Structure 1
Amino acid sequence: MTARDWMEQGTKLFLTAVDRLSDEDFDEPTDLPGWSRRHLIAHVHYNAEALRRLVHWAATGEERRMYASREQRAEEIETGARLPAGELRGRVRQSAQALAYDLDALSAEARTREVVTAQGRTVPASEIPWMRAREVAVHTVDLKAGYGFDDLPAGFTAALAVDAVRKRAASGEAAPLAAWLTGRTAQAPTLGPWL
């Protein structure tokens, strides 16, 4: 399967999870510090809009960053979290559809153009579907609406594990992680902030 396939599957699973929630369930907390389900759903909506800016950059060459600043990103999420549940449901669904449409319209040449992620990494636009697949799949689990990592495609979770190990290794956590993953210690390492 491709990252685009995983993005599609993850999006369907996320939207199904959102649809399982009652309006009152939106107010329940998540394990993400300070975030209710409302915040999480708003974040996924605005993430789609941010990735659409990168797609526009790749398609036109006109630079559009995902977010103007961390403060702008945080304010978007807070604003979205205050929306009525029905409106938030509609927005997260609409932005997911719009991102899929925009990605499918990208030319082969545009997919090779470089864009800059919110973390400051320069990547080809062809990486955007993986970025979105990761976002919707992990946050489906974070919603606590009956889905876990076992419900995600095996190929996706394998790619996610490799991606997470690379990021952890790059942040200086390789040695304790390698010891644990190779069975040389039974104690899982204490890791840095969530990815």
Structure 2
Amino acid sequence: MTVITPEKLLEELHRAADVVAGIAAKFTEQDIKAPSELPGWTRGHVLAHITGIANAMARQLEYAARGKSIELYDSGSEGRTRAIDMAAGHSLEEHRADVDAALERALRVFGALDASGWHEPITYRRGVVFDGGLALWRELVIHATDLGTGRGPETWSRPFCEHLFDFLSARVPEGQKFVLQPLGLPPVVIGSGGQSTVVSGMLTDIAAWLAGRTPSLGSLRATAAADGVDLPALLPWPAGVPVNN
């Protein structure tokens, strides 16, 4: 599998940010009010979320640089949801300005890191700055697809799909093991249970399925003990924001 270095991750963040900004630049006022690929969310909701996560991750790094920590979102998941709902109805001009400013802020703080800065601890998933960079990469690439402009999972890169295989191994139910078999590539095993299911198809289709998105190329097939079966159920997306009680 592809090894993602900090230098490579920074390149990917810039590339993903350019895609998101480019999509937003082409929207009309009516476009942002239209449904996205996420149930119950307009494109305005998705843009508000992208703005929120980019600012939140930038804040993680800004505090880490001072040897301090702060929660990803004020008031946890409830605060995140409230902020998205409040910003979703913004005008096109407001959305563009918010997205551009948030992406510029995030790229600036990631770009200013030295070698040790990538290993500074942050609150997000009790990880380090590098984990935050991977998270922002996931958010930008996947939500660019969720904006529903025809840029589907078939555009996801091999390094990104392989990263999702690793990160989303947490979605394999206990007692199960998935043998992911991308066409023309070596298999990847996730999970460690005794019940084995082979999921074969195009690399991007497998990644889309794991990410809870609709595969673009329709190539997926699941087998167990050499018999065709339904695609196995997945556990929820691994939560990065704690739910307030």
TM-score normalised by the chain length of structure 2: 0.71
Given that residues 53 and 65 in structure 1 are in contact (C-alpha distance below 8 angstroms), is that contact kept between their aligned partners in structure 2?
Answer: no
RMSD between aligned residues? 2.0
* Aligned equivalent of 2:135: 131
2:42 pairs with 1:39: no
Q: Show structure 1 runs of 4+ deviating over 6 A.
A: none
2:28 pairs with 1:50: no
* Aligned equivalent of 2:176: 175
Q: Which has the higher strand share?
A: 2
The structure having more radius of gyration, on CA atoms, is 2
1:108 is paired with a residue of what secondary structure? coil
Which structure has more relative contact order (CA 8 Å, sep 6+)? It is 1
Q: Which moved more, 1:177-186 or 1:86-95?
A: 177-186
Given that residues 7 and 133 in structure 1 are in contact (C-alpha distance below 8 angstroms), is that contact kept between their aligned partners in structure 2?
Answer: yes
Which 5+ residue runs of structure 1 have no aligned equivalent? none
Which 5+ residue runs of structure 2 have no aligned equivalent? 180-196, 201-222, 239-245
2:72 pairs with 1:72: no
How far apart, in 1, do the equivalents of 2:156 and 2:232 lie? 24
User: Superposition pairs for residues 83-94 of structure 1, below 5 Å?
Assistant: 83-94=90-101
Identical aligned pairs, as a percentage? 23
How far apart, in 2, do the equivalents of 1:58 and 1:72 lie? 21
Q: Which has the higher helix share?
A: 1
2:29 pairs with 1:26: no
- The alpha carbon displacement at 1:33 in A equals 2.8
How far apart, in 1, do the equivalents of 2:77 and 2:134 lie? 22
* Aligned equivalent of 1:157: 161
Count the aligned residue pairs.
189
Given that residues 36 and 42 in structure 2 are in contact (C-alpha distance below 8 angstroms), is that contact kept between their aligned partners in structure 1?
Answer: yes
TM-score normalised by the chain length of structure 1: 0.87
How far apart, in 1, do the equivalents of 2:48 and 2:40 lie? 13
Given that residues 45 and 85 in structure 2 are in contact (C-alpha distance below 8 angstroms), is that contact kept between their aligned partners in structure 1?
Answer: yes
